[in-house]
Amino acid sequence: MLSNGNHDSIYNKMSCTHTNADSTSWWRVNLKDTYEISTVIITNRADCCHERLQGAEIRIGDSTDVSKNDICGTITSTAPGSVHTICCNGLKGRYVNVVLPGKSQYLTLCEVEVFGVPTPECKRKPNEVNVALQGTAEQSSLYHDAGIASHAIDGNHDSIYNKMSCTHTNADSTSWWRVNLKDTYEISTVTITNRADCCHERLQGAEIRIGDSPDVSKNDM
């Protein structure tokens, strides 16, 4: 019942959340798009237990794993019904998380307000072309001949693996795929089509890196 516009901080008034005493208790809101977040305002419980919110981290990012998102701020002191304004200075993300890390504690929030603006939409210029089509592709390993690296730049958007238009590595310690564009380009947009028949979650957390190094870890995200 967060983000419902009701700032009542009495738990029995049905406007607060309450987790179990999890080893890491957390709450998050999916904004359904990426925003530049300026401010997060949190209203604490007033009738009891205000100290439970102490040490809570506000994390913002695009990962559903709350621990992998960036910390915007931490609540360092509390009082009954205290209102905490956290400045996030344009930190970008789809998920806003409130996390009590590393301790068994209930998490109760009586209102969370998130202020921000949508990130500018990525748009291609009229004269831009898909330069990947003329490149050569490689990947960290090959799971099966049906998943060769060049399938990702064949112009075929079919997302069913058995249709022979997807790539597939082994479960490498760091799996990667890359395309050599054969020249240096200013890249405006990268569009990736995920697998549709199964396993879509495997792509979660993938980083898109661009640069001149054949070592994928040394290129910029």
> What gap in Å lies between CA 180 and CA 136, rounded to an integer?
5
| Other beta carbons within 10 Å of 201 | 10
204 token code pair: 């979660």
> What gap in Å lies between CA 169 and CA 173, rounded to an integer?
11
Low pLDDT (below 50) residues in the chain: 1-2
98 token code pair: 């409130």
* Strand segments (E) across the chain: 25-43, 57-61, 70-74, 83-100, 111-118, 136-139, 177-180
pLDDT of 1 reads 36
> What gap in Å lies between CA 176 and CA 209, rounded to an integer?
10
pLDDT of 49 reads 94
> What gap in Å lies between CA 162 and CA 45, rounded to an integer?
53
What does the domain layout of the chain look like in residue ranges? 11-118, 122-210
pLDDT of 172 reads 96
> What gap in Å lies between CA 15 and CA 206, rounded to an integer?
37
Digit-coded pLDDT (tens) for 84-101: 999 999 999 999 999 999
What is the DSSP secondary structure assignment for residue 135, as one 8-state letter? S
213 token code pair: 């190094």
pLDDT of 3 reads 55
CATH superfamily assigned to domain 11-118: Galactose-binding domain-like (2.60.120.260)
Give SS3 for 210. strand
> What gap in Å lies between CA 85 and CA 214, rounded to an integer?
44
pLDDT of 4 reads 63
DSSP string, 22-54: BSBEEEEEEEEEEEEEEEEEEEPPSSS-GGGGT
Topology match between the domains 11-118 and 122-210: yes
> What gap in Å lies between CA 107 and CA 21, rounded to an integer?
8
Label the pairing between strands 177-180 and 111-118. unpaired
| CATH fold label, 122-210 | Jelly Rolls (2.60.120)
pTM: 0.58
